[in-house]
């Protein structure tokens, strides 16, 4: 992997398949890392990547689209910067996984708060039982 693409979040790593998303919510594992709830499932992905991710923010908690979009940008950026240990662990085990990050907080987070939560998420995902 080149140095410039090491911290990217390409389209191939975006979880978009409705079937996979349904499987993930029906049979996936979940854990909390406030203000995030994370659902993940080891499954064969349609792309040749170790992990696909998706972010979600409730319309009930944040009525304004600009607020939801800001939170989603923060989650994607935090994941982009922190995902390397998860990808290496999955590659070492020759597995693929789908992950959904759901924001359940009630107020707008800062980038530092999101980074701290994402570090916790990455630790739990790398140590997740296989």
Predicted confidence band at 130 (pLDDT cuts at 50, 70, 90)? Answer: low
Rounded Cα distance between 103 and 110, Å, is 13
Residue with the bigger pLDDT between 2 and 91: it is 91
Q: What is the pLDDT of residue 32?
A: 96
Q: What is the pLDDT of residue 6?
A: 77
Does residue 8 lie in a domain region? no
Does residue 91 lie in a domain region? yes
Write out pLDDT tens, residues 23-78: 999 999 999 999 999 999 999 999 999 999 999 999 999 999 999 999 999 999 99
Largest CA distance in the chain: 42
Does residue 93 lie in a domain region? yes
For the chain, the domain total comes to 1
- Give the range of the structural domain holding residue 114, as residue numbers without chain letter: 13-126
Provide the token pair at 59.
């319309």
Residue 36 · residue 75 · CB < 8 Å: yes
Predicted confidence band at 5 (pLDDT cuts at 50, 70, 90)? Answer: low
Q: What is the pLDDT of residue 89?
A: 95
4: pLDDT strictly greater than 80: no
Q: What is the pLDDT of residue 129?
A: 64
Q: Which residues pair with 103 in a beta bridge?
A: 36, 57
Does residue 3 lie in a domain region? no
Does residue 4 lie in a domain region? no
DSSP β-ladder status, 97-103 and 51-57: parallel
CATH number of the domain within which 57 lies = 3.30.230.10
Does residue 76 lie in a domain region? yes
3-state secondary structure 33-62: ECCEEEEEEECCCCCCCCEEEEEEECCCCC
Write out pLDDT tens, residues 90-99: 999 999 999 9
Q: What is the pLDDT of residue 7?
A: 87
Does residue 56 lie in a domain region? yes
Rounded Cα distance between 128 and 122, Å, is 10
């Amino acid at each position: 992997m080149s140095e410039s693409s090491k911290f990217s979040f390409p389209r191939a790593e975006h979880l978009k398949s409705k079937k996979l998303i349904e499987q993930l919510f029906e049979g996936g594992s979940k854990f909390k890392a406030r203000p995030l709830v994370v659902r993940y499932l080891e499954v064969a992905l349609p792309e040749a990547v170790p992990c696909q991710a998706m972010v979600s923010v409730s319309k009930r908690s944040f009525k304004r689209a600009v607020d939801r979009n800001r939170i989603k940008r923060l989650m994607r950026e935090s994941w982009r910067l922190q995902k390397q240990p998860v990808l290496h662990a999955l590659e070492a085990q020759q597995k693929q996984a789908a992950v959904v990050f759901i924001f359940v907080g009630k107020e707008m987070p800062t980038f530092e708060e999101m980074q701290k939560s994402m570090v916790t998420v990455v630790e739990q995902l790398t140590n997740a039982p296989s």
